[in-house]
């Protein structure tokens, strides 16, 4: 099972978004503090934090679990793999690409 904190920005800054580096810092900090929240995560996503600027979620994935391609609209998303690995498919310039995110990887 992989647990993925996903801070998703939803304004406010001068540009209307948090800096991606700030989101990455939040996500890696939450990942480092997993002993504080991991017991409350079962098989469903759990919102760890909610502020006016972002939300952070822990999302459990069982091996072999898959979702159809989708987007997060205007939201900025940072993913940190806390345990296991995530095979992520994206559409880049019309082509489907896949990357493997291993434990500790930030994207």
User: Is the model's pLDDT at 2 over the cut of 50?
Assistant: no
Question: Do 36 and 49 meet the contact criterion of CB atoms below 8 Å apart?
Answer: no
Cβ–Cβ < 8 Å for 53, 9: yes
Cα–Cα distance for residue pair 87/89, rounded to 1 Å: 7
Q: What is the pTM of this model?
A: 0.73
Beta carbons of 61 and 86 less than 8 angstroms apart:
yes
- The confidence band for 15, taking pLDDT boundaries of 50, 70 and 90, is low
Given this model, what pLDDT does residue 14 score? 53
Q: Say how far apart CA 2 and CA 32 lie, in whole Å.
A: 14
């Amino acid at each position: 099972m992989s647990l993925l904190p996903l801070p998703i920005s939803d304004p406010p800054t001068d540009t209307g978004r948090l800096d991606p580096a700030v989101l990455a810092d939040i996500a890696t900090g939450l990942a480092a503090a997993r002993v504080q929240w991991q017991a409350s995560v079962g098989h469903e996503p759990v919102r760890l934090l909610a502020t006016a600027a972002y939300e952070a979620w822990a999302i459990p994935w069982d091996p072999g679990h898959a979702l159809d391609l989708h987007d997060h609209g205007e939201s900025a998303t940072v993913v940190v793999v806390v345990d296991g690995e995530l095979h992520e498919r994206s559409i880049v310039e019309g082509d489907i690409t896949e990357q493997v995110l291993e434990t500790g990887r930030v994207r």
